[in-house]
Amino acid sequence: MPTTTLTITGMQSDDCLRTVMNAIQDLPCIGYVDVSLETGHAEIEHTGMVTEGDIRSAIEEAGYPTR
């Protein structure tokens, strides 16, 4: 499975982390997700049916910019 690594900015609490995790996990074909509140790094394992752009869009629509 492809893995996408992103940096997410603006997360400040466990509620922010849950919002981001839910946004990612609501996408189809997501496997493993690890998001660090401390560093802002996210590692997402997914099938080829989901692109990095899809993941970025979901996170940004939840209110958190990505780099």
Specify the number of domains making up the chain.
Answer: 1
d(CA 25, CA 16): 14
pLDDT band at 9 (very low <50, low <70, confident <90, very high): very high
Note the Cα 38 to chain centre separation in Å: 14
Domain CATH code at residue 24: 3.30.70.100
pLDDT at 25: 97
* pLDDT for 3: 97
- CA 50/CA 55 separation, integer angstroms: 7
**Domain span at 45:** 3-61
| 63 band by pLDDT with thresholds 50, 70 and 90 | very high
Q: Is 66 a member of any domain?
A: no
pLDDT of res. 34:
98
CB contact burial 18-49 (16+ within 10 A = b; e otherwise): ebbbebbeebeebeebebeeeebebebebeee
